[in-house]
Amino acid sequence: MSAPAIPRAVRERTLLRSLSLVIVGGLLIALITGALSSYRNLQLAYGGYYFAALAGLTVLAGLSGQISLGHGALMAVGAYTSGLLIGNEGWALVPALVAAAGVSAIIGIPLGLAASRLRGPYLAGATLAFAVGLPALADKFPSTFGGENGLTINPSMPPSWLGSNFALERWEAWIACACALIVLFVLYNLVHSGVGRSLRAVRDDEIAASLCGLHVGRNQTVAFVVSAACAGLGGGVFTVVNQLAAPGSFQVQLSLYLLAGVVIGGLGSLVGAIWGAALLVFLPNWTTDLANSFSLSTNVSHNLPLAIYGVVLIAAMLLWPSGIQGGFRSLGSWLWHRRGRRSRSPGAPADRPSAAS
Amino acid sequence: MESRELPGAAHRLSVEDVTVSFGGIRALDRVSVEVSTGEVLGVIGPNGAGKTTLFNVICGFVAPDAGTLSWRGKTLHRIRPHRLSSLGIARTLQGVGLFGRMTVLENVMVGAQHFRRAGIASAMVALPRSDKDERDLRDRALATLAELDCAGIADRLPGTLPFAVQKRVALARALVAEPELLLLDEPAGGLGADELTELRGVIERIGREIAVMVVEHHMDLVMSVCDRVVVLDFGRVIAAGDPAAIKSDPRVLEAYLGREAEGPEALTAAEAGNAGRP
């Protein structure tokens, strides 16, 4: 918002900005996790992998204008990849997570190619079919994917140099947040580069974009693949944190939750993805508490989270169409204008609001 | 990519015997047109004559059923829209076609994007070359905006600007690619008298340096800025020549009025009626 206040040297160096984001974020997490209980650290870890998937999805939806209902399934691809590699093949954590992102990206290529030929509801439908169909594969090949019970792996213990009484949950929060920060770094750079601008151009007007030399389908496919890799990384971390990759975790609802989280957080906003992740972590707890306090039957209470998501989504669309982050942004610019109006003489020309996001 | 031109190939773009049919309708029927550097070619004709289809063929949005296109003396086999800007061809659209959620500066930077050198990998990790590209594109965009007196609105969103200014931004977005051929699709549409005078000056200035093709209904503009005019009617070229000759060509008057008429005044009157149609 206050672009003129940022020195030119910083404004023009994307790396400087994204690296400082990552360093500040990393230090904050290192400090905070020390003070949190095991349970809260575990919740932070959940938030970390949700963020990775949400950030990828929000860039896809906000920048490239594509809606995917298949990101839950792409998380499953990453989750099973890291589960198989760590559990069966004995891979180390980092290469397994890289592979989780890579395999999801590869699965994302045909999906992205299909997505670049589909628009709006048809794209949503195609990706939804993927989300519905994929978890069934675990049942189809029980010897590989463990069927209904899924794959279990041993917890990744904290390295010895962190000391013997370093909590496992804190270490898991570190892993998840490190991956979230990597996703943030890459997507922040991408959004602020010419690639991000090309994606927005394709989103706004495909014909004009192609006359400017942009290959519409290629841009949309690239966006989908990057987004799929983020979801895959999130899924890979899911397995590490929960020590389990099972079809029950990746039902269609997950894809719907992810999309709801992105929309409620603020479509296209990386900060909005943080709000979305918080929502995904806390809302199930709240709804469970709510169901218990009213002592509802299990039939009702099991479906309550989804119903509440629906209600929140509709309410957000009506009241805050640009999501939580959009709401904060308009609040910020309202305050900025109020302050500006007070400090400026009445006849002075009004400052242009910076429209760039 | 720059190939040596064949001797005698003075034309930047030649369209030869291009035919396009949509179902049973011949949108273009063996149309031949050429345009050279330093020339402004006007393409006129009644609504539905095939003017925009001709542009769409040149841009690769419509594949011709027959005929060839050559560019700088080389035959273009399959034109794909996204390859045009690196070939040196730019086009403005009939509507403004600006990217609505991007600032004017960003819009024009997209137009310059074929100058970008860094790929997606360097963008992901924000290598300095990616930032350098951005600075380069921004400088080019700001320079082009300044040439068209739009430097002051670089941070505005297109929707907040008057239509005439949006059209100028769209022109800047086409020009920033440094094309050798500029296709203007109804540049005068929706402009007032003062804006028309400005537009005339801009087209004349551009037309001295590169090849320009203008599809336009506004007859005064066509007659004053074009070096040559081609008249299309029902997909056929019915006349071609300098503006003065076109003005008094009986076939042209017939195409516009549907009957015999006399004098250039009749043409202007017919155009006034034509421009009012959607």
Q: Judge whether B35 lies within some domain.
A: yes
Q: Is B78 helix (H, G, I), strand (E, B) or coil?
A: coil
pLDDT of residue B10: 60
User: Measured between CB atoms, which of A194, A208, A226 is closest to B99?
Assistant: A208
ipTM, interface predicted TM-score of the complex: 0.86
Q: Is the minimum CB–CB distance between B196 and chain A shorter than 8 Å? A: no
Distance, CA of A2 to chain centre = 26
Per residue in A41-80, pLDDT tens?
999 999 999 999 999 999 999 888 898 999 999 999 999 9
**What is the C-alpha to C-alpha distance for residues B109 and B141, in angstroms, rounded to an integer?**
5
State the average pLDDT over residues A324-339: 84
pLDDT of residue B47: 85
Q: Is the pLDDT of residue A347 over 60?
A: no
State the average pLDDT over residues A268-275: 92
Q: Judge whether B93 lies within some domain.
A: no
pLDDT of residue A294: 79
Q: Judge whether B136 lies within some domain.
A: no
Q: Is the pLDDT of residue A189 over 50?
A: yes
Q: Judge whether B110 lies within some domain.
A: no
pLDDT of residue A321: 78
Q: Is the minimum CB–CB distance between B223 and chain A shorter than 8 Å? A: no
Q: Is the pLDDT higher at B24 or at A218?
A: A218
The Cα-based distances of B206 to B94, B192, B227 in angstroms read: 19, 21, 13
State the average pLDDT over residues A260-267: 89
The Cα-based distances of B168 to A16, A139, A218, B188 in angstroms read: 35, 60, 29, 11
Per residue in A95-145, pLDDT tens?
999 999 999 999 999 999 998 888 888 888 899 999 998 888 888 888 888
Query: What average pLDDT is seen over chain A?
Result: 87
**What is the C-alpha to C-alpha distance for residues B33 and B172, in angstroms, rounded to an integer?**
26
Q: Which residues have C-beta within 8 Å of that of residue B252, sequence separation ≥ 6?
A: B231, B238, B239, B246, B267
Q: How many domains does chain B have?
A: 1
**What is the C-alpha to C-alpha distance for residues B266 and B261, in angstroms, rounded to an integer?**
7
Q: Are A56 and A71 in contact (CB under 8 A)?
A: yes
In tens digits, chain B (278 residues) has pLDDT values of 444 444 444 678 999 999 999 988 889 999 999 999 999 999 999 888 899 999 999 999 999 999 999 998 889 888 899 999 999 999 999 888 999 999 999 999 999 999 988 888 899 999 999 999 999 999 999 999 999 999 999 999 999 999 999 999 999 999 999 999 999 999 998 898 999 999 999 999 999 999 999 999 888 899 999 999 999 999 999 999 999 899 888 888 888 776 554 555 555 555 554 544 43
Q: B127 to chain A: which residues are within 8 Å by CB?
A: 15
Size of interface A-B (CB pairs under 8 A): 125
CATH number at residue B187: 3.40.50.300
Range with top average pLDDT, A211-220, A334-343, B4-13: A211-220
Strand order in the sheet with B74-76: B25-36, B11-22, B66-71, B74-76
**What is the C-alpha to C-alpha distance for residues A280 and A260, in angstroms, rounded to an integer?**
9
Q: Judge whether B37 lies within some domain.
A: yes
- For the beta carbon of residue B188, count every other beta carbon within 10 angstroms: 23
SS3 content of chain B, % helix, strand, coil (to 5): 45, 25, 35
Q: Judge whether B58 lies within some domain.
A: yes
pLDDT of residue B7: 43
Give the residue numbers spanning the domain of B42: 11-88+179-276
Among candidate residues A7, A47, A96, the one with its CA nearest the CA of residue A280? A47
Q: A212 to chain B: which residues are within 8 Å by CB?
A: 85, 110-111, 113-114, 173, 177
User: Measured between CB atoms, which of B59, B99, B131 is closest to A201?
Assistant: B99
Strands A151-152 and A244-245: antiparallel
